[in-house]
C-alpha cells in the first residue's frame, strides 16, 4: 500500500500532483513601462514630437505615477507654448512641486538617455494608450462583477450603469483620422447631383411641410434639430404630423421615442390626425356610424407604415444609442424623433447638476446623429420667460428661453420654435389680419442655412399641423368666406392674413389646447 504522499497508480498510469507556477496565480495589469519611458524621452528630445501624441495620450494613460507627473509637466509647457526639453521639464516639475516625487533631475536625464530619436513616438504612444484602455476594462469588469454578486443592487440599474461606463470607455478610443479634401469634394458633388435630379430640389428628407422643406432643403443627415415650445403649444402634434407624412406619403422609415406618452396614446393621436375624427370621440369611443366608416376607410393608411414607436420611460442616452443602431441596421430608419429631451437621463455617469446632465445628453445626441449619419429631431421645453413678457412680439420664443442648458443651443445644428399667437388670445395682428388657426415655425438657428419664419395651419381638434395650401381640406363653409391668402413666410415687411375669427370652425379654437 502506497504511503502518504506517494503517487497513486492505476494500471500503468501515474497521476502526479501538479503545481501551478506562481506567475499563473496572479496577473500583472497591462502595462508598457519601457514604451512609456521611450515616449517621454522622445518628447524631450524632439521639439515636434508633442503635437504627434497630444491627441493620443493624457497623463492618466501612463501606468507609472511618476510618468504621469512628467507628462503633465510636458502638457503644461505645451499649453504655455514654451519649448519642451530636459531643462524646461525639470523647471516645470519644480513649479508643480513634483520634482522630488518623480525622483529628481537624475530620472529626467535617464529618460532622455534611453532614446536616440522620436522616429516611432506615435506607434509607441498608441501602445501606451491601448494598455490604458485594457486596464480600464479590467477595472470596469471587476466593479460590475462585484456589484453583480451583491444582491442589494438592482439588475436593471446595474445593466444601465454597465452600458454607460462601457460607452464612456469606448469614447476615449474614438479617433477619426483627417482626410485629404479630394474624396470629400467628390462626396459633396455626388450629393449635389442627386439633389439636382429631384423635382423638389431638396437634398435632405422631405417632411411634407412644403414651405419648411424649402427653407431647410429637408432634414439633413447628421444634423441635430431641436424643436422647442412651451407646454400645450403643439410640439407632439407637430412631430406626429410630420412623422405620419414622412412614413405614409414618402415611405421614409421613422423612429419615434416617446418618453411622455404610451404607444397607445401616440397611436390614438395618429388616428385622430389621419382619420379627422375629434380626439374626445376617440377617447370615449362614441363615434357616429359615418365616423366608423370614415375611421375604417382612412386608418388603412397607417397599416404597414414604416413608423417605429418606443415608449420606454426615462430613456437613457446609452439605451437610445443601442436601440437606434439596431433600428438603423435592421429597419433602415432614416430619422429619429425624441419626445422630449428633458425627460432623458444619462444614468451610469455622475453629474454636479441637472444642467450638466442635459449638456451631456445634447452632446450625445449630436454625436449619435453624426455616427449614424441621420437627422435626429429632439423636442425641448422652454422656460417660463416667455410667459413673463408682454405684447405680441414678447410672446415669441427666443434662444435664451431654452430650458436648463445653453449647451442645447450650442450643440444643435438647427433650433426651431413653435409659436401660436392664438394661444395667447391674440386673434389679430397690428394690421388687422387674422391669427386664428395659424402657427409659426420660427427657425432661430440654422447652422447651414437661412433663418426665418414658416407659417402653417394648426387644427387643434385633429392635433394636426398642415400647409396653408391645404386649406381646401377645411370645411366648405369656411372656404366660401372671403379671405386673403396668407403668406407662408414673412418678415417685418410682410404680414399674415387669414380666416376671420368669426368663422364658426375657428371661433372656439383659442380655448381649445392641442389634443
pLDDT, tens digit (0-9, with 9 covering 90-100), for 457-475: 888 777 788 888 775 444 4
Domain membership flag for residue 8: no
Same domain for 485 and 407, yes or no, is yes
Same domain for 73 and 136, yes or no, is yes
Domain membership flag for residue 12: no
* DSSP H or E stretch at residue 356: helix 354-372
Same domain for 214 and 334, yes or no, is yes
pLDDT in tens, 491-501: 333 333 333 33
Q: What is the pTM assigned to this prediction?
A: 0.61
| Domain extent at residue 95 | 33-153
Domain membership flag for residue 276: yes
DSSP tag of 305: -
- One of 91, 260, 356, 371 is an active-site residue; which one? 260
Neighbours of 515 (CB within 10 A): 21
Same domain for 367 and 440, yes or no, is yes
Q: Which residues are bridge partners to 515 per DSSP? A: none
Length of the chain: 515
Same domain for 131 and 207, yes or no, is no
> Domain tally for the chain?
2
* DSSP H or E stretch at residue 183: helix 181-197
Same domain for 343 and 418, yes or no, is yes
Most confident of 19-33, 84-98, 339-353: 84-98
Say which CATH number the domain at 309 has: 3.40.50.300
* Domain end residue (candidates: 153, 171, 193): 153
Domain membership flag for residue 353: yes
Domain membership flag for residue 308: yes
Same domain for 113 and 209, yes or no, is no
Q: Does residue 360 surpass a pLDDT of 60?
A: yes
Domain membership flag for residue 145: yes
- How, if at all, do strands 9-10 and 254-258 pair? unpaired
- Residue 22 is predicted with a pLDDT of 39
Q: Is 143 among the residues known to form the active site?
A: no
Locate 237 and state its grid cell: 402634434
Phi, psi (rounded to 5 degrees) for 256: -120, 115
Distances (CA, A) of 25 to 19, 21, 28, 59, 63: 11, 7, 10, 31, 22
Using an 8 Å Cβ cutoff, are 513 and 460 in contact?
yes
Say which CATH number the domain at 54 has: 1.10.860.10
- How, if at all, do strands 335-339 and 254-258 pair? parallel
Q: Does residue 209 surpass a pLDDT of 50?
A: yes
Domain membership flag for residue 178: no
Same domain for 450 and 377, yes or no, is yes
Same domain for 130 and 229, yes or no, is no
Amino acid at each position: 500500500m502506497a504511503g502518504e504522499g506517494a503517487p497513486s497508480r492505476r494500471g500503468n498510469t501515474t497521476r502526479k500532483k501538479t503545481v501551478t507556477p506562481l506567475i499563473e496565480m496572479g496577473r500583472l495589469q497591462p502595462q508598457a513601462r519601457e514604451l512609456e519611458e521611450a515616449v517621454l524621452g522622445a518628447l524631450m528630445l524632439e521639439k515636434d514630437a508633442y503635437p504627434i501624441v497630444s491627441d493620443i495620450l493624457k497623463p492618466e494613460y501612463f501606468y507609472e505615477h511618476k510618468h504621469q507627473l512628467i507628462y503633465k509637466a510636458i502638457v503644461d509647457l505645451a499649453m504655455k507654448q514654451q519649448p519642451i526639453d530636459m531643462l524646461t521639464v525639470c523647471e516645470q516639475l519644480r513649479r508643480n512641486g513634483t520634482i522630488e516625487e518623480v525622483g529628481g533631475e537624475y530620472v529626467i536625464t535617464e529618460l532622455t538617455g534611453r532614446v536616440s530619436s522620436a522616429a516611432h513616438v506615435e506607434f509607441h504612444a498608441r501602445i501606451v494608450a491601448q494598455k490604458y484602455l485594457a486596464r480600464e476594462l479590467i477595472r470596469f469588469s471587476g466593479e460590475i462583477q462585484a456589484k453583480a454578486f451583491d444582491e442589494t443592487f438592482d439588475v436593471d440599474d446595474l445593466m444601465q450603469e454597465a452600458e454607460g461606463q462601457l460607452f464612456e470607455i469606448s469614447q476615449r478610443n474614438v479617433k477619426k483620422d483627417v482626410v485629404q479634401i479630394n474624396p470629400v469634394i467628390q462626396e459633396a458633388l455626388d450629393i449635389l447631383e442627386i439633389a439636382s435630379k429631384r423635382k423638389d430640389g431638396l437634398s435632405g428628407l422631405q417632411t411634407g411641410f412644403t414651405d419648411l422643406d424649402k427653407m431647410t432643403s429637408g432634414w439633413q443627415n447628421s444634423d441635430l434639430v431641436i424643436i422647442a415650445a412651451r407646454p400645450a403649444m403643439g410640439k407632439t402634434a407637430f412631430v406626429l404630423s410630420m412623422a405620419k407624412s414622412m412614413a405614409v406619403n414618402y415611405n421614409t422609415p421613422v423612429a419615434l421615442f416617446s418618453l411622455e406618452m404610451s404607444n397607445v396614446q401616440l397611436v390614438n393621436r395618429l388616428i385622430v390626425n389621419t382619420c379627422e375624427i375629434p380626439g374626445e370621440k376617440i377617447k370615449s369611443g362614441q363615434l357616429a356610424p359615418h365616423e366608423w366608416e370614415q375611421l375604417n376607410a382612412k386608418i388603412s393608411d397607417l397599416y404597414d407604415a414604416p413608423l417605429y414607436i418606443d415608449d420606454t420611460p426615462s430613456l437613457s442616452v446609452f439605451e437610445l444609442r443601442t436601440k437606434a443602431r439596431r433600428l438603423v441596421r435592421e429597419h433602415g430608419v432614416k430619422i429619429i424623433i425624441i419626445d422630449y429631451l428633458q425627460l432623458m437621463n444619462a444614468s451610469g455617469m455622475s453629474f454636479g447638476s441637472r444642467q450638466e446632465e442635459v449638456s451631456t445628453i445634447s452632446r450625445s445626441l449630436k454625436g449619435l446623429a453624426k455616427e449614424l449619419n441621420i437627422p435626429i429631431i429632439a423636442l425641448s421645453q422652454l422656460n417660463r420667460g416667455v410667459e413673463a413678457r408682454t405684447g405680441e412680439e414678447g410672446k415669441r420664443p427666443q434662444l435664451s428661453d431654452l430650458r436648463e442648458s445653453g449647451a442645447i443651443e450650442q450643440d444643435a445644428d438647427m433650433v426651431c420654435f413653435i409659436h401660436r399667437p392664438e394661444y395667447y388670445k391674440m386673434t389679430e395682428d397690428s394690421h388687422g389680419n387674422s391669427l386664428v388657426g395659424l402657427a409659426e415655425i420660427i427657425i432661430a438657428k440654422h447652422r447651414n442655412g437661412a433663418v426665418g419664419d414658416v407659417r402653417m395651419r394648426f387644427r387643434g381638434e385633429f392635433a394636426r399641423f398642415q400647409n396653408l395650401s391645404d386649406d381646401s381640406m377645411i370645411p366648405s363653409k369656411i372656404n366660401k368666406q372671403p379671405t386673403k391668402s396668407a403668406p407662408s413666410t414673412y418678415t417685418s415687411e410682410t404680414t399674415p392674413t387669414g380666416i376671420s375669427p368669426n368663422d364658426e370652425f375657428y371661433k372656439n379654437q383659442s380655448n381649445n389646447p392641442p389634443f
